[in-house]
Amino acid sequence: MRNTYPQESRFRLGDRLLTIGQYVIDGVLASSFIQETLTKQWIGRLGLLVLLASLFRQRFHPEVEAENARKKALCLTARLGHLKIK
Protein backbone atom coordinates (compact mmCIF):
# COMPACT_ATOMS: atom_id res chain seq x y z
CA MET A 1 0.00 0.00 0.00
CA ARG A 2 1.36 3.38 -0.99
CA ASN A 3 1.71 6.25 1.45
CA THR A 4 -0.15 9.33 0.32
CA TYR A 5 0.36 12.69 1.85
CA PRO A 6 -2.40 15.32 2.10
CA GLN A 7 -0.77 17.82 -0.24
CA GLU A 8 -0.03 15.17 -2.87
CA SER A 9 -3.60 13.89 -2.65
CA ARG A 10 -5.03 17.37 -3.15
CA PHE A 11 -2.89 17.98 -6.23
CA ARG A 12 -3.80 14.62 -7.74
CA LEU A 13 -7.49 15.18 -7.02
CA GLY A 14 -7.34 18.64 -8.58
CA ASP A 15 -5.64 17.28 -11.67
CA ARG A 16 -8.23 14.52 -12.07
CA LEU A 17 -11.16 16.89 -11.55
CA LEU A 18 -9.80 19.33 -14.14
CA THR A 19 -9.31 16.54 -16.66
CA ILE A 20 -12.74 15.02 -16.10
CA GLY A 21 -14.40 18.43 -16.19
CA GLN A 22 -12.73 19.30 -19.46
CA TYR A 23 -13.84 16.04 -21.09
CA VAL A 24 -17.41 16.43 -19.87
CA ILE A 25 -17.74 20.05 -20.97
CA ASP A 26 -16.01 19.34 -24.29
CA GLY A 27 -18.46 16.50 -24.86
CA VAL A 28 -21.39 18.77 -24.07
CA LEU A 29 -20.12 21.44 -26.42
CA ALA A 30 -19.47 18.91 -29.18
CA SER A 31 -23.00 17.52 -29.00
CA SER A 32 -25.17 19.15 -31.66
CA PHE A 33 -28.29 18.42 -29.60
CA ILE A 34 -26.93 20.40 -26.66
CA GLN A 35 -25.78 23.22 -28.93
CA GLU A 36 -29.30 23.54 -30.32
CA THR A 37 -30.84 23.43 -26.84
CA LEU A 38 -28.52 25.84 -25.02
CA THR A 39 -28.37 29.54 -25.70
CA LYS A 40 -25.26 31.02 -27.26
CA GLN A 41 -24.55 32.66 -23.90
CA TRP A 42 -24.37 29.28 -22.13
CA ILE A 43 -22.21 27.76 -24.85
CA GLY A 44 -19.85 30.72 -24.50
CA ARG A 45 -19.71 30.29 -20.71
CA LEU A 46 -18.91 26.59 -21.00
CA GLY A 47 -16.23 27.32 -23.60
CA LEU A 48 -14.72 29.92 -21.27
CA LEU A 49 -14.75 27.40 -18.43
CA VAL A 50 -12.81 24.89 -20.56
CA LEU A 51 -10.33 27.61 -21.50
CA LEU A 52 -9.80 28.61 -17.87
CA ALA A 53 -9.30 24.99 -16.79
CA SER A 54 -6.73 24.51 -19.58
CA LEU A 55 -4.89 27.68 -18.58
CA PHE A 56 -4.90 26.60 -14.93
CA ARG A 57 -3.42 23.21 -15.80
CA GLN A 58 -0.74 24.81 -17.99
CA ARG A 59 0.18 27.37 -15.34
CA PHE A 60 0.12 25.31 -12.15
CA HIS A 61 0.79 21.74 -13.37
CA PRO A 62 -1.02 19.92 -10.54
CA GLU A 63 0.42 16.55 -11.60
CA VAL A 64 3.98 17.89 -11.27
CA GLU A 65 3.15 19.51 -7.93
CA ALA A 66 1.80 16.17 -6.68
CA GLU A 67 5.05 14.44 -7.58
CA ASN A 68 7.10 17.22 -5.95
CA ALA A 69 4.99 16.99 -2.78
CA ARG A 70 5.53 13.23 -2.64
CA LYS A 71 9.31 13.59 -3.03
CA LYS A 72 9.46 16.32 -0.40
CA ALA A 73 7.44 14.23 2.06
CA LEU A 74 9.70 11.21 1.50
CA CYS A 75 12.80 13.35 2.01
CA LEU A 76 11.44 14.85 5.23
CA THR A 77 10.40 11.42 6.49
CA ALA A 78 13.91 10.10 5.82
CA ARG A 79 15.43 13.05 7.69
CA LEU A 80 13.13 12.45 10.64
CA GLY A 81 14.13 8.79 10.69
CA HIS A 82 17.80 9.79 10.61
CA LEU A 83 17.32 12.21 13.51
CA LYS A 84 15.55 9.58 15.63
CA ILE A 85 18.46 7.18 15.19
CA LYS A 86 20.95 9.66 16.64
User: 25-48, pLDDT tens digit by residue?
Assistant: 878 777 777 778 888 898 888 888
Phi, psi of 19 (to 5 degrees): -65, -50
Alpha helices in the chain (DSSP H): 6-30, 32-37, 40-60, 62-85
pLDDT of residue 5: 66
When pLDDT is cut at 50, 70 and 90, the band that residue 1 belongs to is very low
End-to-end alpha carbon distance in the chain: 28
- CA separation (Å) from 85 to 1, 7, 31, 45? 25, 27, 61, 57
Instruction: Write the pLDDT tens digit of every residue in 54-74.
Output: 787 777 776 777 777 788 888
Q: Is the pLDDT of residue 18 over 60?
A: yes
CA dist 30 and 52 (Å) reads: 18
